[in-house]
Amino acid sequence: MARTLLEVQGIVKKFGGITAVDGVSFDVREGEILGIIGPNGCGKSTLFNCILGQLPPTEGKVVLDGNDVTGLRPSELNRRGVSRTFQLLQVFPQLSVRENLILAGQEHKGTMVSRLFGPRDAGLTPDAEQMIEFFRLGHLADEKAGGLSYGQQKLLDAAMAFMAGPRMVLLDEPAGGVNLTMLGHLEERLRAMNTERGATFVVIEHNMDFVMRLCTRVVVLAEGKKIAEGTPAEVRANPQVIDAYLGH
């Protein structure tokens, strides 16, 4: 079995009297595509935010490569190789596609001082070009990101998460609002990232077909708790999962 990259241990997150995430644990193994699914409001995004330092968890631990990284600032976690996208689009509309990609990689190059006195592109133009080619955004490289279609921006958003050569990437609803053609393209590119470059993924999704096709393993949440874990086929056959999705 592949090495464990990330261990999530008993994460609890309370907002006042509401327990959004209630003691969730799982492992992420190197090279896998782990899906996290669950009905709306089951705590998926909150869990992500706790893992990635956007929110401090009330209880629990996040361990990366054997080091406790709970509550580390997102920028620090990112520099240790954990990258993410957000549920809502988060590209920089005034910057060109290429500039967005350079921004996504520049803070991983050298120190603040060396970046100030170094080249304008922080030496990242070749990497950006490669990423542009990989996600087939070549004809848009010099366009302002704000002028791209929603699906194209989603692609750019995902591409940005890979710019720094991360160990793992957490994608929050990559398929949300993307049309079918673009979705196929996105899925194919993410899979290529996984097989060709060995990227490890954790994917939060609503689109069940997308998850079942893409992921090698799936964790199911309901009302803040983990109710199932296994291969897509196992999870699909689990009566508790069916119950959670179809209602009581």
Cβ proximity to another protein, 94 vs 179, nearer residue: 94
Work out how close the CB of 242 gets to another protein at its nearest, in angstroms, rounded to a whole number: 35
Q: Of the two residues 1 and 112, which places its CB atom closer to another protein in the complex?
A: 112
Neighbours of 138 (CB within 10 A): 11
Q: Minimum distance from CB of 109 to another protein (Å)? A: 8
Q: Which residues contact 127 (CB under 8 A, 6 or more apart)?
A: 101, 105, 163
Give the nearest distance from C-beta 120 to another protein in angstroms: 6
Q: Please state, in angstroms and as integers, the Cα–Cα distance from residue 3 to each residue in 62, 70, 77, following that order.
A: 16, 20, 19
**Nearest residue (CB) to another protein, 79 versus 236:** 79
Residues within the interface to another protein (CB under 8 A): 52, 54, 73-75, 78-79, 83-84, 86, 90, 92-95, 99, 102-104, 106-108, 112, 115-116, 118, 120-122, 160, 164
Given a contact cutoff of 8 angstroms between Cβ atoms, the answer to whether 85 and 31 are in contact is: no
CA-closest candidate to residue 170, choices 142, 193, 201, 146:
201
Kindly tell me which of 142 and 196 has the beta carbon lying closer to another protein: 142
